[in-house]
């Protein structure tokens, strides 16, 4: 099994329970970016998501 890339949105937005987990980093980043924009109205760059929000598990 490879590493998985995980976004636990609860750490970014206390009232959100959204979790993304994917072995494909590009997919995880894209899903995370779409979620942040559509649900929270916040634009993050891929680099911000990778460095600040995505965890490797
Ligand atoms: Zn969220």
- The pLDDT tens digits for 27-48 are 999 999 999 999 999 999 999 9
Domain hosting 14: range is 5-56
Structure tokens at 32: 């995370």
Q: What is the largest CA-CA distance in the chain?
A: 34
**Is 2 a residue whose pLDDT tops 90?**
no
- pLDDT band of 1, cuts 50, 70, 90: low
For ligand 1, the distance from its centroid to the CA atom of residue 33, given in whole angstroms, is 10
Query: Measured in angstroms, how far is the CA atom of residue 15 from the centroid of ligand 1?
Result: 8
- The alpha carbon of 49 and the centre of ligand 1 are apart by a number of angstroms equal to 13
Number of domains in the chain: 1
């Amino acid at each position: 099994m490879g590493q998985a890339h995980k976004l636990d949105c609860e750490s970014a937005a206390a009232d959100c329970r959204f979790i993304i987990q994917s072995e494909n980093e590009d997919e995880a980043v894209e899903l995370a970016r779409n979620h942040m924009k559509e649900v929270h109205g916040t634009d993050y760059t891929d680099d911000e998501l990778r460095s600040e929000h995505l965890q490797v598990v």
